[in-house]
Structure 1
Amino acid sequence: MFFNFNRFFGFQQKLDNLLKNESLTIETIFNEDDILQELKGSSSVKFADYLIQHPQEYKKMIGYIVDEITDESLDKTQRTKYPFYSSEILGQENEKLINFLFDKPEDEMYEEINNPIEDDETQLVETINKNDQLKENEEIRANLLNNLLQLLENDALIVTTAGYFAKAVNTIILKRGVCFWEHLKHNPQVISNMFKHCYLKHIVDIFDKLISLDDNYEQHNQYMNDRLALMQRLALILKGKEYSQVIVQNICELFEGQFKKAVYQYETQTQEYKKMLLQFIQQYTPSFFMSIALSTQQAVAYNVIIAQLEFLNKLAFSNEHQDQIENTEKESLKIPDIVQLYSIIIKDFSQALNQKDQFTLSFKSTDGFCITPLGECKLSLIYLINNLLSKSELQNYYSYNIFQSIINLVNQHRSNNQLHLLFEKIVLTVFSSNNEQLQKEMFQETNLITFIIQNNNEEARKNKFGFQGVLTRLSNYLHQNQSQSKQFQLVLQQMNTNWNQYMDGLDSVNKYEQEWILGVNPKQKAFQISEEVSSPNIIMPEPLVQYAYTQPSGFRKCESFENNDEDNEGKNEEEIQQEQNEQQQIEQIGTETDQKQEESNQNNNEQKDQLELDSTANIKEEIIKTQQEYVSLDEQKNEQDKENQINENVNVDNQIENNQLDQNNDGNEEIIHTQEVQVEENQKTQENSLTEQQDIQKEDKEPNPNQEELIKQDDNEQQE
């Protein structure tokens, strides 16, 4: 793999060389190596100008997207490379190429053609040919968009081809959405052809872009009626194609995305767009999507109901807290009655919870148990139940069958943490509500208390079920706040089992679960180690002993004015003034003592300097003389020792040579004798040298009387 310098440095571009060829085609450009990044980046304007001047090449590029090539015998570049390059270029938001689909280019370059100067036959022929060519180019340009949309007339589409097509069309809607809508109004068969391919996610994304037009703020209020009609037609197709899971998934995701966009981008959306969504909710109510969810068992249908509820809550909240909205705008956004919309679907909750899921398959765990998964559909349903339960006007429509079905699901799926958390939220919302009828349905009509005790007592905790942590936390909350609910107290009185005995058994569990590590709560900003809860294995360090810091003399005190306000908090003004006065007095005393010490030190130093100048001059001269004498004697001794050693070594060498000659003549016995003699002589010389060195050291160690006298004099002077 080589580094492409052309992308990062200003080298000559490849397209410049290619444009010099008069017979240039789109295929020769695409066949060039590493040309795509240049066409999308630095050379995008030049390439757009080339296609505008040669619309037949533009048509060929669109043809590579539209024409589905199924013949595998053709070249791979023609089957894969050309369609990919074409979709990337059209999806790059090149304004010149997109505007060329709708607007006729300027006629500045053709002024000479319309006004010939001379009536020569050759010039007439040239002008006629150019006019014919211009007419052909204009016809090609006017039909480019139709050639692109011609793909939708096919009965079936390949997924990759639909992806290339959607990428180009979405870019066109982004830049010229209003013009594209105008083209669709004059060609209504295009939308009908798009409905045939709702099984493809890429085609449904085009509908999403047409409805929202969210990327261009100026297009928000355009074609609102047409956009609402498009959503209504999609809802009808959803009802008629319930048998197709893919179509239901794609269209419901489109509706969910529209409502979520309106919630997340509420401040930027216009009033007309919000009004359009309100009209759609009033026509296609949550009961419409509830019937689809029951028949298809798709979680996306429940998600649409949840998104509609969030949108209505956002409208209600904004109308209550936003005073800047005018009265006319408030009247135009009248929120429908939530009770009429959602009370109907609450009756179907128990049926949906007990419905057998057709798309979940059971499996065996490693322990040998057969496990059936909960499924995304029922999980979304329980999430919807929790959201609607927070509405006080809808709480009277809940029955005990809904709560009992949820408890049964929790008992069946003991490892689904999301289900357990939603179950806990539902119980807490019922307990904290002031609706006695709702609390009666939860605590008296269901077996909630017995379910908690049976699955979280001492014997059940040995099995270690997945929901025991949630049950423990829920039990502690109910026990601590039982005075808030009369219905809960009545249930405890009517039950044969002892709730207090069960809670006493949870004390050992709470000690482990509710105890902070080392007694420290990490959520607190300023935490302190509690004395009640502590670990016996850890020895805490003893507190540091406070001591008063005394400032050394000779140093100036530096005061810092940081955090003075914090230190002076809680003190009276009189106490603060007393402390300041005391500090000032201490500073004055310290400065006076420092001045006195400095004056005394200066006087002593002056007297010592005068004595030392007189006495040290004579002493230094005598010491230098003695040192020079010792050095000269040592040098003479060392030179004599070196000369003696050199002479001895010369004599030894001569003797060795003579002995070697004698040994060659006399034999081995004489050689041994001479070697012994040499060893004895060497030992003697070494002993002599050692004795001489010892004598020198003794002489050095002996003290000089003159030097001793000088040292004594120095000591006496210093004492004086």
Structure 2
Amino acid sequence: MENPQDQQLMIQEFIINQVTSIIQSDLSVYQKCNSIITHEYSAWIYYELISTITLNSNIFNRNPTPQLLFQCSELFENANQEFIDYLFDHLEGLNENQQVIKQGLFRYLITLVELDTISETICGYFYKAMNSIIQKRGADVWNFIENDQRIMSSFLKHVDQPHICKTITELIIFGNQPSNILDYSYLAQQFSDRLFKIMIKKSYQNIIVDNISEIYIEILTRKSQNQNLEISQIIMLQPSKLFQIAIQSNSEGPYHILNLLLEYFKNYQQDQIDSFIDISHLIPLEFQKTYQNYNQYDRYYNKLFGRKNVRLLNLTLQLIELNNQSINSKLIDNGLVNILINTICEFPFHNQLHFTSFLIFEKLIENHQIDQILQIIDSLLNFIVNQFNQTQTIIGFKGFLSKLANYMINQQNNPVILTAMKNNQEWEGFCQTNLQIINQIELNFYFNFNPRKPINEQNFGQNIQQDISQQQEQISQEQQQQE
């Protein structure tokens, strides 16, 4: 075309109208994309698509509509192999100018991260495009980063953006796929090491700790789903440093990583489990802070336990389930049982705290390696009796206490437990009064029907008939009294 202005208008009209019809049509993916790939102005069209996604100073659409932004990103995300290949493969039939423009298309897209600030919306569109490119031509993306490692620093500059972190996650995971011809695991390890250093230095910024934690959480989760994924080099995390990050921040992410990391060590690197010994003595102290210093309340004026503490509680249970004598000794020596008891008293409405704490007590009691078992039993018996003696004990809390008390009674074959019960002066009276009243209500089956017992052995029909006869007799007596 001789008139450049007419050429611009033509391309602009093609992009706005044709892209919409491609996205919304019912044709196959190849047919959708082929109309762009085979178009005379392919390089210019790609340039315009990328400009729209990244909101750079594009020539034709200076103010793209939200609909066009979405459609352009969808075109990258749902494109077939040929559409993505266009960015990297050499094509015949292009003039020199078009060839130069085509070679710079991917650089034009990925260098978005070199900007000082990026809006969250643009990061979302950028992730959709990059994720599709990484899945289809990840080796070329890593090759580009290897030749220009400033891009890695630019990615790390934006770890406050969740979608940039998701892009980093896909890059790291692809770099450790065992089927890759070229090895980019050393670059992925560099990414991981620098991310961990950032998390340590920026531990006071919860958004950064949350986002980086999600990267490691996703990597560990993918490993549990794909046994062939090799992550031993990129998950070189120290539990002690992760725990310090958790203490310094309000993020639950580090505790979540520790939960998954412990599971990973149990399955693949059992020699690393001992690294959790270094944090065992700190766990009771963190629970102690929870009930001593935590003053945030919900709408019903009850203290909030928080998801962060739930993660720490689950981590404690996982550690105890290891039956590691060193870990259990450090937990108990630092007052875990009494601190958990005090925490439960401060949060009488928190069912998950009660349920997990019960499992912790159960595992500790049944672990025969523990020397302080008598002290644990004494603490639990006094806790149960003292709470029942209070006049304002919450009904739901009584259910937890009675469950714990019945568990103790069922473990009387343990001589330590039996001795502790005999030495507790209030225990027998408690069992004959408060506990007996609750058990008469809670332990009776509805209509005397035991779901675990065969139907032919049930006697619930006779009991129901007796109940009905008693009710009828009572009604007739009341009627006679009224007459």
Q: TM-score, normalised by structure 2?
A: 0.86
* Contact kept in structure 1, 2:37 and 2:86, CA below 8 Å: no
Partner of 1:88: 74
Q: Against the structure 1 CA distance between its residues 397 and 51, is the aligned structure 2 distance closer, same or farther, given a 3 Å change threshold? A: farther
Q: Against the structure 1 CA distance between its residues 27 and 406, is the aligned structure 2 distance closer, same or farther, given a 3 Å change threshold? A: farther
- 1:469 pairs, out of 399, 410, 435, with 399
Partner of 1:306: 259
The list of structure 1 runs, each at least 4 consecutive aligned residues, that deviate by more than 6 angstroms after superposition, is 74-77, 214-217, 357-360
Offset of 1:235 from its aligned partner? 0.3
* Contact kept in structure 1, 2:290 and 2:305, CA below 8 Å: no
- CA deviation profile, 1:631-682 (whole Å, cap 9, x unmatched): xxxxxxxxxxxxxxxxxxxxxxxxxxxxxxxxxxxxxxxxxxxxxxxxxxxx
- CA deviation profile, 1:515-535 (whole Å, cap 9, x unmatched): 222222334565631369934
Offset of 1:398 from its aligned partner? 2.1
- 1:36 pairs, out of 9, 18, 23, with 23
Partner of 1:428: 362
- CA deviation profile, 1:532-558 (whole Å, cap 9, x unmatched): 99343247xxxxxxxxxxxxxxxxxxx
- 2:347 pairs, out of 413, 421, 426, with 413
- CA deviation profile, 1:406-462 (whole Å, cap 9, x unmatched): 111100111000000011111111121112414134224xx32121012235x64x7
Map of 1:548-627 to 2, 5 A cutoff?
Answer: none
Q: Against the structure 1 CA distance between its residues 342 and 438, is the aligned structure 2 distance closer, same or farther, given a 3 Å change threshold? A: farther
| Structure 1 residue 78 corresponds to structure 2 residue 64 | yes
Question: Amino acid of the residue matched to residue 88 of structure 1?
Answer: E
* Contact kept in structure 1, 2:265 and 2:272, CA below 8 Å: no
Question: Amino acid of the residue matched to residue 36 of structure 1?
Answer: I
Q: TM-score, normalised by structure 1?
A: 0.59
Question: Amino acid of the residue matched to residue 475 of structure 1?
Answer: A
Partner of 2:55: 67
- Number of residue-to-residue matches in the alignment: 455
- 2:239 pairs, out of 253, 265, 286, with 286
Partner of 2:480: none
* Contact kept in structure 2, 1:51 and 1:58, CA below 8 Å: no
Partner of 1:455: 387
Offset of 1:248 from its aligned partner? 0.1
- 1:233 pairs, out of 185, 194, 197, with 194
The structure whose RCO (Cα within 8 Å, separation 6+) is larger is: 2
Offset of 1:49 from its aligned partner? 2.4
Stretch moving more, 25-34 or 402-411 = 25-34
Offset of 1:502 from its aligned partner? 1.3
CA distance in 1, matches of 2:62, 2:51: 16
| Structure 1 residue 387 corresponds to structure 2 residue 321 | no
Offset of 1:288 from its aligned partner? 1.1
SS for the counterpart of 2:48 is: helix
Partner of 1:187: 148
Q: Against the structure 1 CA distance between its residues 522 and 260, is the aligned structure 2 distance closer, same or farther, given a 3 Å change threshold? A: same
Offset of 1:217 from its aligned partner? 6.6
Q: Against the structure 1 CA distance between its residues 254 and 438, is the aligned structure 2 distance closer, same or farther, given a 3 Å change threshold? A: farther
Question: Amino acid of the residue matched to residue 54 of structure 2?
Answer: V
| Structure 1 residue 479 corresponds to structure 2 residue 467 | no
Partner of 1:199: 160
SS for the counterpart of 1:294 is: helix
CA distance in 1, matches of 2:413, 2:111: 72
CA distance in 2, matches of 1:246, 1:220: 36
Partner of 1:222: 183
Percent of residue pairs identical = 20
Stretch moving more, 218-227 or 83-92 = 218-227
Partner of 2:232: 275
Map of 1:323-472 to 2, 5 A cutoff?
Answer: 335-339=270-274, 341-355=275-289, 361-363=296-298, 365=300, 370-393=301-324, 394-399=327-332, 401-444=335-378, 447-456=379-388, 460=391, 463-472=393-402
Q: Against the structure 1 CA distance between its residues 61 and 449, is the aligned structure 2 distance closer, same or farther, given a 3 Å change threshold? A: same
* Contact kept in structure 1, 2:266 and 2:273, CA below 8 Å: no
Question: Amino acid of the residue matched to residue 25 of structure 2?
Answer: E
- 2:127 pairs, out of 166, 183, 191, with 166
Q: Against the structure 1 CA distance between its residues 455 and 198, is the aligned structure 2 distance closer, same or farther, given a 3 Å change threshold? A: same
Question: Where does structure 2 lack aligned partners over 5 or more consecutive residues?
Answer: 1-6, 470-483
CA distance in 2, matches of 1:198, 1:163: 13
CA distance in 1, matches of 2:282, 2:8: 72
| Structure 1 residue 496 corresponds to structure 2 residue 425 | yes
Stretch moving more, 176-185 or 372-381 = 372-381
Partner of 1:522: 451
SS for the counterpart of 1:362 is: coil
Map of 1:635-646 to 2, 5 A cutoff?
Answer: none
Stretch moving more, 32-41 or 165-174 = 32-41
Offset of 1:308 from its aligned partner? 0.6
Q: Against the structure 1 CA distance between its residues 259 and 216, is the aligned structure 2 distance closer, same or farther, given a 3 Å change threshold? A: closer
* Contact kept in structure 2, 1:213 and 1:220, CA below 8 Å: no
CA distance in 1, matches of 2:16, 2:384: 70
Offset of 1:471 from its aligned partner? 1.3
SS for the counterpart of 2:371 is: helix
Question: Amino acid of the residue matched to residue 515 of structure 1?
Answer: N
| Structure 1 residue 252 corresponds to structure 2 residue 213 | yes
CA distance in 2, matches of 1:438, 1:533: 50
- CA deviation profile, 1:289-326 (whole Å, cap 9, x unmatched): 011111113221111111011112223xxxxxxxxxxx
CA distance in 2, matches of 1:231, 1:40: 41
Question: Amino acid of the residue matched to residue 273 of structure 2?
Answer: I
Offset of 1:381 from its aligned partner? 1.1
Offset of 1:148 from its aligned partner? 0.5
Q: Against the structure 1 CA distance between its residues 59 and 527, is the aligned structure 2 distance closer, same or farther, given a 3 Å change threshold? A: farther
CA distance in 1, matches of 2:287, 2:154: 39
Partner of 1:148: 109
Offset of 1:203 from its aligned partner? 0.1
- Name the larger-Rg structure: 1
SS for the counterpart of 1:197 is: coil
Measured on the aligned residues, the alpha-carbon RMSD in Å equals 3.1
CA distance in 2, matches of 1:530, 1:214: 66
CA distance in 1, matches of 2:27, 2:369: 64
Question: Amino acid of the residue matched to residue 288 of structure 1?
Answer: K
Offset of 1:58 from its aligned partner? 1.3
Q: Against the structure 1 CA distance between its residues 519 and 97, is the aligned structure 2 distance closer, same or farther, given a 3 Å change threshold? A: same
Stretch moving more, 74-83 or 410-419 = 74-83
CA distance in 2, matches of 1:194, 1:39: 37
CA distance in 1, matches of 2:259, 2:54: 39
Offset of 1:464 from its aligned partner? 3.3
Partner of 2:479: none
- 2:42 pairs, out of 54, 67, 74, with 54
